[in-house]
């Protein structure tokens, strides 16, 4: 098979470990001619909904969706019920992931108790638990109190933790529904200014620079947000950032017919914004694609716009979107695609067994067909159907996923 650098190789996998990488002879057990092997994808931003919201997704169904998308590791956000703000819940999620056995499930710990933004959660207890939590986020909510955020950073720095912030100044977004601008004028829905996001991004870059605690900015959506991150990195601050597949590919105009599949937090922005996001992803300002896979049972989406839930699924199509915006467009290459979907998120998440194809490392692979046209009919494995890509066509797809040396997705079907 072919690697991202264009070389053609045969891989030998023994007991889950890559034991040899040699020039191709096509004598292996599986002839992967024409396919491209990438290190398995890593998602720093997934909502698996269990415990508490099993009608929308479970660790098992979300793991199946992930495996079908080429993922071998996902970080599960903490906004479950009960909230993953203590060692007990993060250990429960970790064990559910091991039981599902399709991807490595790494629980994200809440920064504040019950995501209330008032008091720090048991950060040390979660870091020291069996789940070894190293990424902390109140995602879904912003830690809006600057002093509390600074304290969390000071506490996590010596523990080796990373803060992932959902940047949304709450006083600027009360009742907000769609991007503030053309779409809020067309629909009459309350606007959501990008400054609500940018002001928190800037504040937290400054706090990260001061405390030295790594900051990961979730789902950046605007041109100015990208510029602020570029500035923070130029200053040498320990800042990384993510962009979602939907903010790369879709714009606010998707919401003009009040189709609630396009209701998402943060909202879809303008074409200029998505262009700036792609540019930032290509030039390295944005480090990773994180899906923000947010499944919702149909009754939560089949409502009037203002009462419908925020969020869209992403695990099953993230690779296809990445391929479209980076490779089909001619704007970048396989090396960059591998970085944003695998190597860089593995590095930020501290996953030594993921992110590269190397002798001695666990065999975690996403094997893709670079020239296969497919029409999206809906989610195949997620329990929810809020997929924003239905009806769209992509020109590449995941064919197999290998996790720990075993097929979890084989010939376009999840293995269990
Ligand atoms: Zn979020
Ligand atoms: Zn999220």
Per-residue pLDDT band at 29 (split at 50, 70, 90): low
For 205, the token pair is 């870059």
Q: Taking all residues of the chain, what is their mean pLDDT, rounded to a whole number?
A: 96
DSSP string, 338-363: HIIIIIHHHHHTT-TTSS---TTSB-
pTM, 2 dp: 0.97
Ligand found nearest the CA of 266: 1
- In CATH terms, the fold of domain 40-353 is TIM Barrel (3.20.20)
Cα separation, 173 vs 307, in Å, equals: 15
Query: Does 33 have pLDDT greater than 90?
Result: no
CA-nearest of 350, 376, 398, 293 to 47 is 293
Dihedral sign, CA of 252, 256, 258, 261? Answer: negative
β-bridge partners, 70: none
Residues 229, 280 contacting (CB under 8 angstroms): yes
- In the annotation, is 292 catalytic? yes
Angle at 12 between CA 7 and CA 13, to 5 degrees: 125
Residue 24: predicted pLDDT: 79
Ligand found nearest the CA of 142: 1
For 11, the token pair is 């891989």
Residue 210: predicted pLDDT: 98
Ligand found nearest the CA of 292: 2
Per-residue pLDDT band at 224 (split at 50, 70, 90): very high
Angle at 67 between CA 66 and CA 68, to 5 degrees: 90
288 Cα–ligand 1 center, Å: 15
141 Cα–ligand 1 center, Å: 7
124 Cα–ligand 1 center, Å: 23
76 Cα–ligand 2 center, Å: 9
CA-nearest of 416, 347, 389 to 39 is 347
Which helix or strand (DSSP H or E) is residue 207 part of?
A: helix 195-211
Number of other residues whose CB lies within 10 A of the CB of residue 62 = 33
206 Cα–ligand 2 center, Å: 23
User: Tell me: the pLDDT tens digits for 227-244?
Assistant: 999 999 999 999 999 999
β-bridge partners, 414: 409
Question: What integer is the mean pLDDT of 57-83?
Answer: 98
Query: Does 413 have pLDDT greater than 80?
Result: yes
User: Is the backbone of residue 412 left (phi > 0), alpha (psi -120 to 50) or beta?
Assistant: left
Residues 401, 71 contacting (CB under 8 angstroms): yes
Q: Could you tell me the residue ranges of all domains in the chain?
A: 40-353
**3-state SS class at 17:** strand
- The rounded percent of the chain whose pLDDT value lies above 70 is 99
- What radius of gyration do the chain's Cα atoms show? 20
> 352: burial class by Cβ within 10 Å (0-12, 13-18, 19+)?
exposed
Cα separation, 93 vs 308, in Å, equals: 27
Report the interhelical angle of 271-283 vs 223-234 (nearest 10°): 30
Active-site residue, selected from the candidate residues 10, 85, 138, 292 = 292
């Amino acid at each position: 098979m072919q690697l991202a650098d264009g070389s053609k190789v045969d891989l030998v996998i023994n007991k889950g470990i890559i034991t040899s990488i040699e020039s191709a002879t096509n004598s292996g057990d599986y002839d992967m001619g024409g396919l491209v092997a990438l290190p398995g994808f890593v998602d720093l931003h997934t909502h698996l909904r269990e415990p508490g919201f099993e009608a929308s997704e479970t660790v098992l169904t979300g793991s199946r969706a992930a495996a079908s998308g080429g993922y071998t590791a996902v970080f599960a956000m903490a906004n479950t019920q009960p909230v993953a703000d203590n060692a007990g819940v993060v250990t429960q999620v970790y064990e559910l992931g091991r039981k599902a056995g399709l991807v490595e499930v790494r629980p994200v710990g809440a920064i504040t108790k019950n995501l209330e933004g008032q008091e720090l959660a048991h950060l040390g207890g979660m870091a020291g638990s069996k789940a070894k939590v190293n990424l902390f986020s109140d995602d879904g909510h912003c830690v809006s109190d600057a002093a509390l955020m600074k304290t969390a950073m000071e506490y996590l720095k010596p523990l080796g933790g990373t803060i992932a912030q959902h940047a949304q100044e709450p006083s600027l977004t009360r009742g907000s529904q769609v991007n503030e601008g053309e779409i809020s004028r067309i629909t009459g829905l309350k606007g959501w200014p990008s400054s609500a996001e940018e002001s928190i991004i800037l504040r937290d870059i400054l706090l990260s620079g001061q405390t030295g605690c790594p900051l990961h900015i979730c789902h950046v959506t605007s041109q100015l947000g990208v510029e602020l991150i570029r500035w923070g990195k130029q200053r040498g601050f320990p800042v990384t950032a993510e962009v979602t597949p939907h903010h790369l590919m879709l714009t606010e105009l998707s919401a003009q017919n009040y189709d609630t599949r396009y209701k998402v937090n943060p909202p879809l922005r303008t074409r200029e914004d998505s262009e700036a996001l792609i540019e930032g992803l290509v030039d390295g300002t944005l480090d990773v694609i994180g899906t923000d896979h947010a499944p919702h049972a149909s009754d939560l989406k089949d409502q009037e716009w203002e009462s419908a839930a925020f969020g869209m699924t992403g695990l099953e199509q993230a690779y296809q979107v990445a391929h479209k915006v980076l490779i089909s467009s001619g704007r970048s290459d396989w090396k960059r695609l591998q970085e944003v979907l695998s190597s860089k998120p593995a590095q930020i998440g501290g996953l030594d067994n993921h992110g590269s194809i190397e002798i001695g490392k666990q065999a975690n692979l996403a094997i893709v067909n670079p020239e296969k046209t497919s029409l999206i009919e809906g989610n195949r494995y997620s329990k929810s159907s809020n997929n924003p890509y239905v009806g769209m066509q992509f020109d590449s797809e995941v064919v197999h996923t290998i996790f720990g040396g075993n097929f979890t997705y084989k010939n376009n079907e999840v293995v269990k």
